[in-house]
């Protein structure tokens, strides 16, 4: 276990609701994608270019450029705080930032030495982040798992929540948007929750999560979009193309190019839909099969006035209709069916069109 006393925190007390801060609208760094004053967790397979997206984002924020397609309005240039554990500063991180057009005067890097080495450890060094975040719009930690102490296991739900809590406190107190990155595991299947692997608890604790994945139809293209959000309606995923830019003179050691990520337009699916479709294609489930099971599940859940069925009843009925349990689960993800626990039973609840669930209507 780790020491949770990472900062001087006043003792809790009982407040009248009217003595607390008044209601205010949600603020966004990137509308529908990166909330301000909150933690977002981004995950994706290793080696697909997630770090290039973080560089692209840093360039946008530090120059104050407008990028409406990704929900970023024009605003004054803002500081971005970087914690980088995977990329060398002088040969990888800095050339990429410069190639992307980032204003390095607005970039703060937390490390031990001037060559960028020496990663901080959290929550031990969280006060450094809080101090830097006071005048920043965004904090990026790439990759977050590398900054955890060796005696902490985020596979354990309690320790995972303990590890993430200081970040939530910093975000809440400073209003900064915090983006933590990590890798998906190698488990196959269409249940996106399984992709979080050892960091599955982060999906529960983070206000939003972003899912990065390769575009199955075009090499060199990355698709990034919200996978889970409890603060806004879903938005479509975004496509980014990785280009090579000539920066240095070619030599025997390399061609002198630096990769840069460029916007390539909106995707036709959400990040979750794309994930499920890719898993289905890999397992041999074709489009007609998906349409059939999706239509069947929607009809089955709609048989009840409250648009819900016990999970076990869904599996039994699916088997009788000739569909496997895994196919039913993939259809559940594609249809954004909610799983709700009542007592000892799990129910599948069909969302009502417009992104609210049947339970939200009190049915």
CA distance 198 to 207: 18
Q: What is the mean pLDDT of residues 19-45?
A: 89
Tens of pLDDT, residue by residue over 262-306, are 999 998 778 888 887 776 666 555 555 667 888 999 999 998 888
Tens of pLDDT, residue by residue over 340-355, are 878 778 889 988 754 4
CA distance 78 to 103: 10
CA distance 121 to 108: 17
Q: What pLDDT does residue 358 have?
A: 56
For residue 291, the SS3 value is: helix
Q: How many CA atoms does the CB half-sphere of 163 hold within 13 Å?
A: 24
Q: What pLDDT does residue 354 have?
A: 41
Closest Cα partner for 87 from 46, 142, 35? Answer: 142
Q: What pLDDT does residue 361 have?
A: 38
pTM (two decimals): 0.74
Determine what percent of the chain is predicted with pLDDT higher than 90.
47
pLDDT band at 187 (very low <50, low <70, confident <90, very high): low
């Amino acid at each position: 276990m780790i020491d949770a006393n990472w900062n001087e925190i006043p003792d809790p007390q009982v407040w009248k609701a009217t003595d607390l801060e008044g209601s205010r609208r949600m603020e966004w760094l990137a509308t529908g994608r990166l909330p301000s004053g909150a933690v977002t967790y981004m995950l994706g397979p290793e080696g697909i270019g997630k770090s290039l997206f973080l560089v692209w984002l840093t360039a946008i924020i530090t120059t104050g450029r407008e990028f409406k397609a990704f929900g970023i309005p024009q605003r004054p240039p803002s500081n971005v705080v970087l914690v980088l554990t995977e990329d060398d500063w002088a040969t990888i991180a800095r050339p990429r930032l410069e190639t992307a057009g980032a204003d390095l005067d607005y970039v703060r890097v937390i490390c031990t030495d001037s060559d960028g080495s020496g990663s901080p450890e959290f929550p031990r060094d969280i006060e450094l982040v809080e101090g830097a975040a006071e005048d920043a719009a965004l904090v990026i930690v790439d990759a977050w798992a590398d900054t955890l102490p060796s005696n902490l296991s985020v596979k354990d739900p309690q320790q995972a929540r303990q590890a993430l809590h200081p970040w939530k406190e910093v975000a809440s107190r400073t209003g900064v948007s915090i983006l933590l990155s990590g890798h998906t595991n190698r488990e196959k299947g269409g249940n996106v929750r399984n992709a979080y692997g050892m960091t599955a608890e982060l999906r529960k604790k983070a206000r939003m999560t972003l899912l990065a994945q390769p575009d199955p139809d075009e090499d060199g293209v990355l698709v990034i979009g919200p996978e889970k959000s409890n603060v806004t309606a879903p938005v479509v995923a975004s496509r980014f193309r990785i280009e090579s830019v000539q920066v240095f003179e070619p030599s025997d050691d390399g061609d002198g190019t630096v990769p840069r990520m460029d916007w390539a337009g909106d995707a036709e699916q959400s990040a979750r839909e794309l994930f499920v479709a890719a898993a289905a294609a890999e397992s041999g489930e074709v489009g007609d099969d998906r349409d059939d099971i999706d239509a069947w599940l929607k009809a089955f859940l709609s048989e009840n006035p409250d648009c819900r069925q016990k999970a076990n009843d869904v599996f039994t009925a699916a088997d009788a209709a000739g569909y496997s349990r895994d196919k039913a689960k993939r259809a559940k993800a594609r249809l954004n069916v909610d799983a709700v626990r009542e007592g000892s039973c799990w129910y599948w609840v069909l969302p009502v069109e417009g992104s609210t669930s049947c339970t939200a209507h009190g049915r």
